[in-house]
C-alpha cells in the first residue's frame, strides 16, 4: 500500500526519539513492500524574500522526504500551530502521491488540522500520540512542578501557557479555546489513535473519554543503536554506588528531584552521579549548580548513546515529572543491563515490571528512601537485573501498525468531516486577530509620528543653539580683541576688570550652552534608537499582517464553500418542509379515513353474525387451500428432486470424464513404455542409430513431462495445449529403421487423437457446468417465490387451526387472561427503566389476570440455559441462566436452545397473549413460535435492538451515532463475534418444517442476496445482512408494536422493519403512588444540587457530566451520581480516575422505593446520554417530583423535556455546553417552570389500556376464524 507519514521533524535535521522512530518505521514498511513517503516540518524558515511557505523535496536513506518551510518566526509555538497558508501545499502533495492511508505522528511546525485535510480529500488517517500535545499546548502537562490534570481551555491554561508577542489576555483565551476544539476535532476525525502504552492511553482518555473505542495500544519497537550487553559494573557495595542519568537535563525531566534526593541522602559521600547531556534551559542553570554543590558528579557533556558504554554504572534513575508515553531512555538502560528507579506515573511505572523500583512522583524524600533500601540490601540490584525483559522488535511493531492500516482500510464507514461551525470559528478568531493587529499597528504608527515630530523639534532647537553659540564665539573673539587693544593702550584697571568679568560671563554661558547641546544630542540619539526599534516592530507587525491576510483569504474561501453548502442545506430544508406539508395533508386524509374505518367497523360487527354462518364454507375452502399447499409442496419437492437428479447426472458425467482422463493417462504411459522398448531395439542397430535413440528418449521424456504438467493443466481449464511437445519427430537422419518410424508415427497419431478427444470433452463439460449454474440460479428464484407462498399458506392454515381450537373458548372483555411477558432482565438485580416498567405492568395486570414473566440472568456458578422458578413481589418469574455469552453471531438472534425453552413454556402455560418487552439474550423466533400456535404477539419497543446488533444503542464503536441498519456499516460492530459455518435459514425457524433438508446453503445465500439487493464479499457484512433479513421476516408475525415515544416509532418506520399501521406511540405507565405531587421548587441561589440517576454505562454519558463538573469551581454546585457501580467495572474505574472535583460523588445504587427521597434532595437532574434515548424513566420521575431536567438534545429526551418549561437541552456530548447550562440554573433559573406539563400516565391506566389491546387482538383472531 502507499503510506504518507507526517511528522514535525525528520533526520538529518531532527533526530529526536519520535523522528528516529518514524525513520525506522518507514524503513521497515519499505522492506515489507510498501511505498512510503514522509512529510515533515523544519526549523528553517522559507528564506529571505519568501512570503509564502515552501515545500522542498529530498531523499534520506532511500526515503522520499518533503520538508515544509513556513514563513515567520517561532513556528513551534502553540499559537501558530494553525496555518491555513500551508493547506494548498499539503493538498497538492497528497493528491500527487495519492496515498491509501496517512499516518500522522505530530502536528507541530505543520498545521493542527492535518486529519481534516486528509478526510476532505477522501484519504483515511490514523495517528500515533507520542506526547500530550493534543491535550496540552506545551505538551509536557507539568504545572507548578507536578503533573497537571486540568482540561485544556481558556480557564485552566491562562497563566501557564505563554502567549505570543503582542497577544492580549482575551486573545490568548480565544486562541486556547480554538486550540482545544481543533485538537479534539482531529482526534474525533481520525480513524484510529495509536499509543505506545496503556498508561498513555489512560491519560488521554481522562480528557477525551469518548475516544475509547478508537485506541490501539502498540508498544514501540527498539530503535536504539546500542546492543544488549552486560553492564560495566562498578565496585558497589565495596565501592561507591554509581548512578546514571542522561538525555535532556531539565526540571521537566526531574533533574532537580534527583539532586535534592542526593543532597539529603545519608550515604551521599558513597554515591557517584554520572550525568550525560546539557542543561536545556539557561534559567535553570543557577539552581542546578546550587543543588549540585558538594555532590560527587561527573559531567560528561553532550549526550551520545555510545558514551554510556564507556562508563561503569550500577543503576539508572529516570525521575521525570512528565507522564512519559514510552521512554527510549528506559530502553537504553535495559540494553545496558541496568535496572532503573522510576516515578509512579505514566509508562515508566507500567514498563518497569520488577526490573527496578518505583517511588512517588516528584517526591525527593521517597526517592531518597528507595536509595536507602539499596544500601541496606545491595542484593536488590542483582534481583532487579534478572527481571529485565527483552525489548519489542521493530519488525513486530511494524506488523502491528500494518494490521491497524488494514483494519482502517477494510472499514466501509464514511469518513467524518469537520463541523462547519468550527471552520467558521477559525475565520472569526483570525479576523479578530487581524483587527487587533491593525489597531496595534495604527497605535505604533501614531507613536512613530509623535517621535518623528519630537525629533524634528529637537533638531530645530539644536540648530538654533548652534547658531547662538556661533554668535557667542564671535562676541568672545570681539572681546578678546578689545582686551588686546586695552593692553596695548594701557586702559585703566577698572575697565579691564569689567572686560574680564564680561569675558567670564560669556564663557559660563558658552559652557552652559555646550552642555545643553550635548544633552540635546544625547536625547536625539536615544529617540533615533527608539525609532529604529519601533521601525523593526512595525516591520514585524506588517509581516504578521501579510501572513494573516493570506490566512484570511484562505479562510474566506473555506467560508464561501461552507456558505454554498449551507445554501444547499437550506434548499434541502425547503424540500423537507414541502414534504412535511404533504405528509401533514396525508395525515389529515388518514384522520378522515379513520372515521370512515370506524363506521366500517360498526358495519363489520353487524355482519359478524352473517360471517359466522359461513364457517363451514370457509373450512371447506381452507381444506382446498391445504390440498393446494400439499400440491405446491409436492411440485416444489419434484422441482428440487429434478434439479438434484440433473446435478447428480452432471456429477456422474464429470466422474466418467475423470475416469476417461485417468484411462487416457494410462494409455499415454503405455505409449511411453512402447517408445522405450523401441528405443532399446534401436540401440542394437549400431552406432549410426545411437544418436537417434538418445534424441528420441529426450523427446519422449519432454512429451511426457509436458503432458503431465502444463498441457494437462491447460486441458483441465478447457484450453488446447499451448506447447509443441508433440512435434518431436527425429531430425538426425532418414536412414533409420522403417519399423521404428512407423511406431513413432503411430504413437504420435494416438497422442494427437487422445488430446483432441480430451479437448472436445472438456468443452462439453464447461457447457454443462454453465447450464448447471444457470439452473441453480433459476431454482433459487423459484424457490424464493415458493417459500413466500409456503409462508403465506402456513400462516393461513395456522390461523384456521387456532380458530378451530379457540372457537369454544373465545375471550371476552372481563375474562381472565393468561399473559406471558418476556424481558431480557428483571428485578431485583436489574432496576433500569425497562425492567421497572415490566415489573410494574406485570404486577398491576396480575390483579385481574394470570401473568408469568420469562427473563434471563447471569450467574456463572450455574450452567447456561439452566431454569428456575421464583416470585418477585408476588409476580411469578421463570428465569433462564444465559451468562451473556454466545457461541457465534447468529445465536444472538436465532438460538435453538432458547427456542426449545420457549416452546415448552408456551405448551405448558397455554398463554392467551405473549407480550414481549425485550428479546436480548433470547431468540427472535419467540415471535414466530407464538404465532404458529395462534397466540397474538404484542411487542413493546424500549430501544433499537431489533435494528442494531451492537446492544441496540445505534452507536458505532468510535461513539458515532448511527442513523439505521445497513450491512456495510454494521460489519464493524459485529467483527468481534465468531461466525457460524452455515448461512442463516431463509425462513424463520418455526415456519420451515422440513425445508432444511432440501434447501442447500448455496441456494440459501442466492435467495437472501436477491432479497437484500446486494452481494457481500465480506463475511461479516453478509452476516449482518442475514440478521437484518431474518429479523424483518420475523417481525411480520407481530400483531401490535407499542413505542413509548414518537421518535422511536418513526425510527422503526424509517428503517423499514415495521409498517406504520402496525405500530402505535403510547408512553409507559408509572407507579405514581411512590412519587409526590409535582410542585415547583423555590429557587435557592446559595446551592445547586446536581444528580444523575440510572445505569452506569458508557453510552449513558456519565463521563461527560463528570468532565463538566471538573471545570466548575463554584463551591455552590455539587453532584451525586446514583447507579450500580459493579455492572461495568472498567467504566466505573475510568469514572473514578477522571473525577477531579471533590464535590462530585459516586453514590452507588439505592432501592427503587427511595426515588422520591433521592429526587427530593436534588435541584437539577442531568441526563447526558450519548445515544437516542426512548422514554427515560428518570425524566418522568423528575417531573413528578418537581425537579427540572437538563438533557442531551437528541431522541426521546428532546421529545419529553420541553425547553424553559420542564428543563433545558445541551449539545449531545458537549462538555462545555453542559457546564454552561448547569451554571445557568444558578443565575438564570427557569421562570416558567411547569413540571405538571409533562402528563404522567399511571400504571393502572396503562394496564387498562393494555387489557383493551389484548381483548381487541383476541377478538380479531376470533373474527378471522369466523
pLDDT tier at 935, thresholds 50, 70, 90 = very high
For residue 743, the model assigns a pLDDT of: 61
Q: Where are the beta strands (DSSP E) in 148-238?
A: 192-195, 215-217
Highest mean pLDDT among 210-214, 595-599, 994-998: 210-214
Are 1155 and 1129 in contact by the 8 Å Cβ rule? The answer is no
For residue 903, the model assigns a pLDDT of: 92
pLDDT in tens, 1194-1227: 888 888 888 888 899 999 989 999 999 999 998 8
pLDDT greater than 70 at residue 270:
yes
Specify the range with the lowest mean pLDDT, choosing from 27-36, 132-141, 557-566: 557-566
Record the cell numbers describing residue 702, joined without a space.
519432454
Q: What percent of the chain has pLDDT over 90?
A: 36
For residue 170, the model assigns a pLDDT of: 83
Mean pLDDT rounded to a whole number for the chain: 79
pLDDT tier at 727, thresholds 50, 70, 90 = very low
For residue 581, the model assigns a pLDDT of: 66
Q: How far apart are the first and last CA of the chain?
A: 68
pLDDT tier at 753, thresholds 50, 70, 90 = low
Instruction: Tell the residue number behind the cell numbers 393446494, with chain if given.
Output: 628
Tell me the mean pLDDT in the region 169-174: 86
The span from the CA of 338 to the CA of 388, in Å, is: 8
Tell me the mean pLDDT in the region 632-645: 62
Rounded to a whole number, what is the largest CA-CA distance in the chain?
Answer: 172
pLDDT in tens, 483-494: 666 555 554 555
The span from the CA of 64 to the CA of 36, in Å, is: 8
Of the candidates 288, 203, 220, the one whose C-alpha atom is nearest the C-alpha of residue 248 is 288
For residue 576, the model assigns a pLDDT of: 62
Record the cell numbers describing residue 119, joined without a space.
478526510
Which is more confidently placed, 1259 or 344? 344
The span from the CA of 375 to the CA of 774, in Å, is: 85
Phi and psi of 342, rounded to 5°? -135, 160
pLDDT in tens, 495-529: 556 656 666 666 676 667 667 666 766 766 676 66
For residue 1263, the model assigns a pLDDT of: 37
For residue 109, the model assigns a pLDDT of: 92
Q: Edge to edge, what strands does the sheet with 1164-1167 contain? A: 1144-1148, 1117-1122, 1088-1093, 1164-1167, 1189-1192, 1207-1210
Specify the range with the lowest mean pLDDT, choosing from 62-76, 396-410, 728-742, 910-924: 728-742
pLDDT greater than 90 at residue 39:
yes
What is the secondary structure of 357-397 as a DSSP string?
A: EEE-TT-HHHHHHHHHHHHH-TTHHHHHHHTPPPPPPHHHH
pLDDT in tens, 663-713: 656 665 665 566 555 555 544 444 444 454 455 445 545 544 544 444 544
Tell me the mean pLDDT in the region 1079-1096: 84
Specify the range with the lowest mean pLDDT, choosing from 264-268, 442-446, 1001-1005: 1001-1005
For residue 670, the model assigns a pLDDT of: 66
pLDDT tier at 395, thresholds 50, 70, 90 = very high
pLDDT greater than 70 at residue 1015:
no
pLDDT greater than 90 at residue 968:
no
CA distances from 527 to 123, 132, 449, 453 (A): 57, 47, 12, 11
Specify the range with the lowest mean pLDDT, choosing from 65-69, 94-98, 1029-1033: 1029-1033
For residue 524, the model assigns a pLDDT of: 63
For residue 731, the model assigns a pLDDT of: 42
Which is more confidently placed, 1007 or 264? 264
Which is more confidently placed, 1264 or 931? 931
Tell me the mean pLDDT in the region 272-301: 91
For residue 23, the model assigns a pLDDT of: 95
Specify the range with the lowest mean pLDDT, choosing from 363-367, 381-385, 953-957: 953-957
Tell me the mean pLDDT in the region 811-835: 88
For residue 513, the model assigns a pLDDT of: 64
Of the candidates 1090, 1225, 1078, the one whose C-alpha atom is nearest the C-alpha of residue 1162 is 1090
pLDDT in tens, 1153-1207: 788 888 888 999 999 998 888 888 888 888 888 899 999 988 888 888 888 888 9
- For residue 827, the 8-state DSSP code is T
pLDDT in tens, 1113-1145: 999 999 999 988 887 888 888 898 889 898 999
The span from the CA of 1134 to the CA of 212, in Å, is: 11
Could you tell me the pTM of the whole model?
Answer: 0.46
For residue 682, the model assigns a pLDDT of: 46
For residue 429, the model assigns a pLDDT of: 81
Query: Is the backbone peptide bond immediately before 12 cis, with ω within 30 degrees of 0?
Result: yes
Record the cell numbers describing residue 95, joined without a space.
493528491
pLDDT in tens, 195-251: 999 999 999 998 988 887 789 999 999 998 887 666 566 678 888 999 999 988 999
For residue 712, the model assigns a pLDDT of: 44
Helix H or strand E segment including 1030: helix 1019-1035
Helix H or strand E segment including 5: strand 2-7
pLDDT greater than 50 at residue 1080:
yes
Are 329 and 247 in contact by the 8 Å Cβ rule? The answer is yes
Q: 639-644: long-range contacts (C-beta < 8 A, 24 or more apart)?
A: 639/779, 639/782, 640/779, 640/783, 640/998, 643/775, 643/776, 643/779
Tell me the mean pLDDT in the region 990-996: 42
**Calculated CA dihedral for residues 1065, 1070, 1075, 1079, nearest 10 degrees:** 20
For residue 864, the model assigns a pLDDT of: 87
Specify the range with the lowest mean pLDDT, choosing from 565-569, 867-871, 908-912: 565-569
For residue 713, the model assigns a pLDDT of: 47
Tell me the mean pLDDT in the region 577-587: 65
Phi and psi of 1065, rounded to 5°? -105, 120
pLDDT tier at 449, thresholds 50, 70, 90 = confident
The span from the CA of 826 to the CA of 840, in Å, is: 11
For residue 878, the model assigns a pLDDT of: 96
Specify the range with the lowest mean pLDDT, choosing from 164-168, 682-686, 772-776: 682-686
Record the cell numbers describing residue 475, joined without a space.
562676541
Amino acid at each position: 500500500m502507499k503510506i504518507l507519514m507526517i511528522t514535525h521533524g525528520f533526520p538529518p535535521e531532527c533526530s529526536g526519539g519520535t523522528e528516529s522512530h518514524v525513520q525506522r518505521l518507514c524503513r521497515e514498511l519499505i522492506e515489507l513492500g510498501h511505498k512510503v513517503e514522509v512529510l515533515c516540518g523544519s526549523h528553517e524558515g522559507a528564506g529571505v524574500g519568501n512570503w509564502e511557505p515552501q515545500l522542498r523535496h529530498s531523499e534520506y536513506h532511500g526515503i522520499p522526504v518533503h520538508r515544509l518551510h513556513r514563513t515567520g518566526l517561532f513556528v513551534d509555538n502553540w499559537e501558530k500551530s494553525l496555518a491555513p497558508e500551508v493547506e494548498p501545499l499539503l493538498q497538492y502533495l497528497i493528491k500527487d502521491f495519492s496515498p491509501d492511508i496517512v499516518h500522522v505522528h505530530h502536528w507541530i511546525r505543520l498545521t493542527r488540522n492535518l486529519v481534516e485535510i486528509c478526510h476532505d480529500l477522501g484519504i483515511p488517517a490514523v495517528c500515533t500520540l507520542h506526547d500530550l500535545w493534543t491535550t496540552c499546548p506545551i505538551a509536557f502537562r507539568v504545572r507548578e512542578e507536578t503533573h497537571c490534570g486540568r482540561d485544556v481551555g481558556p480557564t485552566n491554561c491562562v497563566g501557564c501557557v505563554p502567549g505570543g508577542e503582542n497577544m492580549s489576555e482575551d486573545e490568548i483565551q480565544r486562541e486556547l479555546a480554538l486550540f482545544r476544539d481543533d485538537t479534539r476535532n482531529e482526534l474525533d476525525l481520525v480513524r484510529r489513535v495509536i499509543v505506545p502504552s496503556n498508561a498513555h492511553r489512560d491519560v488521554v482518555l481522562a480528557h477525551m473519554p469518548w475516544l475509547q473505542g478508537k485506541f490501539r495500544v502498540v508498544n514501540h519497537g527498539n530503535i536504539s543503536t546500542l546492543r544488549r550487553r552486560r553492564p560495566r559494573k562498578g565496585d558497589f557495595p565495596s565501592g561507591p554506588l554509581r548512578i546514571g542519568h542522561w538525555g535532556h537535563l531539565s526540571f521537566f525531566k526531574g533533574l532537580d528531584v534527583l539532586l535534592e534526593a542526593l543532597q539529603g541522602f545519608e550515604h551521599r559521600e558513597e554515591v557517584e552521579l554520572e550525568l550525560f547531556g546539557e542543561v536545556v534551559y539557561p534559567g535553570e542553570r543557577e539552581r542546578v549548580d546550587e543543588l549540585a554543590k558538594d555532590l560527587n558528579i561527573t559531567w560528561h557533556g553532550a549526550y551520545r548513546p555510545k558514551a554510556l558504554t564507556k562508563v561503569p554504572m550500577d543503576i539508572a534513575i529516570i525521575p521525570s515529572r512528565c507522564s512519559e508515553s514510552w521512554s527510549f531512555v528506559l530502553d537504553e538502560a535495559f540494553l545496558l543491563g541496568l535496572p532503573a528507579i522510576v516515578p509512579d506515573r505514566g509508562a515508566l511505572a507500567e514498563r518497569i515490571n520488577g526490573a527496578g523500583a518505583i517511588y512517588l512522583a516528584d517526591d525527593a524524600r521517597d526517592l531518597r528512601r528507595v536509595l536507602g533500601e539499596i544500601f541496606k540490601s545491595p542484593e536488590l540490584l542483582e534481583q532487579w537485573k534478572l527481571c529485565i525483559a527483552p525489548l519489542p522488535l521493530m519488525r513486530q511493531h511494524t506488523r502491528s501498525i500494518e494490521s491497524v492500516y488494514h483494519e482502517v482500510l477494510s472499514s466501509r464507514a464514511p469518513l467524518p468531516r469537520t463541523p462547519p461551525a468550527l471552520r467558521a470559528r477559525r475565520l472569526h478568531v483570525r479576523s479578530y486577530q487581524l483587527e487587533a493587529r491593525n489597531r496595534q499597528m495604527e497605535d505604533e504608527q501614531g507613536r512613530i509620528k509623535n517621535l518623528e515630530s519630537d525629533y524634528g523639534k529637537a533638531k530645530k532647537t539644536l540648530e538654533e543653539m548652534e547658531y547662538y553659540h556661533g554668535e557667542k564665539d564671535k562676541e568672545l573673539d570681539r572681546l578678546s580683541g578689545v582686551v588686546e587693544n586695552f593692553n596695548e593702550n594701557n586702559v585703566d584697571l577698572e575697565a579691564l576688570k569689567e572686560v574680564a568679568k564680561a569675558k567670564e560671563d560669556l564663557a559660563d554661558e558658552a559652557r552652559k550652552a555646550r552642555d545643553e547641546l550635548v544633552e540635546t544630542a544625547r536625547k536625539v540619539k536615544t529617540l533615533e534608537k527608539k525609532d529604529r526599534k519601533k521601525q523593526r516592530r512595525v516591520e514585524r507587525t506588517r509581516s504578521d499582517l501579510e501572513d494573516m491576510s493570506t490566512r484570511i483569504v484562505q479562510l474566506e474561501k473555506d467560508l464561501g464553500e461552507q456558505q454554498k453548502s449551507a445554501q444547499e442545506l437550506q434548499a434541502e430544508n425547503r424540500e423537507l418542509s414541502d414534504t412535511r406539508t404533504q405528509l401533514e395533508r396525508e395525515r389529515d386524509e388518514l384522520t378522515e379515513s379513520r372515521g370512515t374505518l370506524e363506521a366500517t367497523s360498526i358495519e363489520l360487527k353487524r355482519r359478524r353474525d352473517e360471517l359466522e354462518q359461513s364457517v363451514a364454507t370457509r373450512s371447506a375452502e381452507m381444506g382446498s387451500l391445504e390440498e393446494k399447499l400439499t400440491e405446491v409442496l409436492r411440485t416444489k419437492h419434484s422441482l428440487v428432486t429434478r434439479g438434484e437428479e440433473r446435478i447428480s447426472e452432471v456429477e456422474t458425467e464429470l466422474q466418467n470424464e475423470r475416469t476417461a482422463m485417468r484411462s487416457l493417462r494410462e494409455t499415454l504411459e503405455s505409449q511411453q513404455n512402447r517408445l522405450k522398448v523401441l528405443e532399446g531395439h534401436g540401440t542394437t542397430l549400431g552406432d549410426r542409430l545411437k544418436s537417434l535413440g538418445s534424441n528420441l528418449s529426450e523427446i519422449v521424456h519432454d512429451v511426457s513431462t509436458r503432458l503431465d504438467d502444463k498441457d494437462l493443466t491447460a486441458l483441465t481449464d478447457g484450453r488446447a495445449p499451448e506447447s509443441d511437445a508433440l512435434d518431436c519427430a527425429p531430425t538426425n537422419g532418414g536412414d533409420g529403421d522403417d519399423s521404428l518410424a512407423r511406431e513413432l508415427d503411430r504413437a504420435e497419431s494416438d497422442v494427437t487423437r487422445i488430446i483432441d478427444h480430451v479437448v472436445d470433452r472438456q468443452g462439453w463439460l464447461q457447457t454443462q457446468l454453465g447450464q448447471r449454474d444457470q439452473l441453480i440460479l433459476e431454482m433459487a428464484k423459484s424457490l424464493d417465490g415458493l417459500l413466500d407462498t409456503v409462508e403465506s399458506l402456513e400462516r393461513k392454515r395456522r390461523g384456521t387451526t387456532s380458530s378451530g381450537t379457540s372457537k369454544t373458548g373465545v375471550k371476552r372483555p372481563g375474562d381472565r387472561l393468561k399473559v406471558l411477558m418476556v424481558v431480557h432482565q428483571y428485578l431485583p438485580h436489574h432496576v433500569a427503566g425497562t425492567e421497572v416498567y415490566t415489573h410494574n405492568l406485570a404486577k398491576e395486570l396480575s390483579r385481574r389476570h394470570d401473568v408469568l414473566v420469562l427473563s434471563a440472568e447471569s450467574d456463572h456458578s450455574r450452567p447456561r440455559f439452566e431454569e428456575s422458578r421464583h416470585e418477585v413481589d408476588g409476580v411469578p418469574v421463570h428465569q433462564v441462566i444465559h451468562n451473556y455469552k454466545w457461541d457465534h453471531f447468529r445465536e444472538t438472534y436465532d438460538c435453538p436452545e432458547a427456542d426449545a425453552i420457549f416452546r415448552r413454556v408456551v405448551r405448558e402455560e397455554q398463554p392467551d397473549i405473549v407480550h414481549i418487552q425485550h428479546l436480548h439474550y433470547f431468540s427472535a423466533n419467540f415471535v414466530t413460535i407464538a404465532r404458529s400456535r395462534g397466540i397474538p404477539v404484542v411487542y413493546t419497543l424500549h430501544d433499537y435492538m431489533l435494528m442494531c446488533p451492537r446492544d441496540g444503542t445505534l452507536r458505532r464503536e468510535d461513539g458515532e451515532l448511527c442513523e439505521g441498519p445497513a450491512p456495510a456499516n454494521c460489519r464493524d460492530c459485529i467483527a468481534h463475534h465468531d461466525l457460524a459455518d452455515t448461512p442463516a435459514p431463509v425462513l424463520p425457524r418455526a415456519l420451515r418444517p422440513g425445508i432444511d433438508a432440501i434447501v442447500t446453503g448455496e441456494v440459501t445465500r442466492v435467495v437472501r442476496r436477491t432479497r437484500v439487493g446486494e452481494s457481500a464479499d465480506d463475511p461479516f457484512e453478509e452476516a449482518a445482512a442475514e440478521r437484518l433479513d431474518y429479523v424483518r421476516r420475523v417481525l411480520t408475525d407481530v400483531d401490535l408494536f407499542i413505542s413509548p415515544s414518537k421518535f422511536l416509532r418513526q425510527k422503526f418506520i424509517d428503517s423499514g422493519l415495521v409498517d406504520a399501521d402496525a405500530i402505535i406511540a403510547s408512553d409507559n405507565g408509572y407507579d405514581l403512588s411512590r412519587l409526590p405531587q409535582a410542585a415547583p421548587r423555590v429557587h435557592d441561589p446559595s446551592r445547586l444540587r446536581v444528580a444523575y440517576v440510572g445505569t452506569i454505562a458508557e453510552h449513558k454519558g456519565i463521563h461527560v457530566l463528570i468532565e463538566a463538573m471538573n471545570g466548575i469551581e463554584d463551591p455552590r454546585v455539587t453532584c451525586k451520581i446514583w447507579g450500580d457501580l459493579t455492572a461495568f467495572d472498567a467504566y466505573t474505574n475510568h469514572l473514578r480516575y477522571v473525577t477531579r472535583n471533590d464535590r462530585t460523588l459516586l453514590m452507588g445504587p439505592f432501592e427503587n422505593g427511595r426515588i422520591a427521597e433521592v429526587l427530593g434532595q436534588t435541584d437539577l437532574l442531568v441526563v447526558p446520554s450519548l445515544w437516542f434515548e426512548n422514554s427515560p424513566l428518570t425524566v418522568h420521575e423528575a417531573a413528578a417530583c418537581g425537579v427540572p431536567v437538563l438533557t442531551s438534545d437528541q431522541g426521546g429526551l428532546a421529545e419529553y423535556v420541553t425547553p424553559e418549561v420542564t428543563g433545558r437541552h445541551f449539545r449531545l456530548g458537549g462538555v462545555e455546553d453542559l457546564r454552561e447550562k448547569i451554571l445557568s440554573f444558578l443565575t438564570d433559573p427557569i421562570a416558567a417552570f411547569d413540571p405538571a406539563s409533562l402528563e404522567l400516565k399511571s400504571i393502572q391506566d396503562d394496564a387498562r389500556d393494555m387489557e383493551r389491546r389484548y381483548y381487541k387482538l383476541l377478538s380479531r383472531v376470533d373474527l378471522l376464524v369466523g
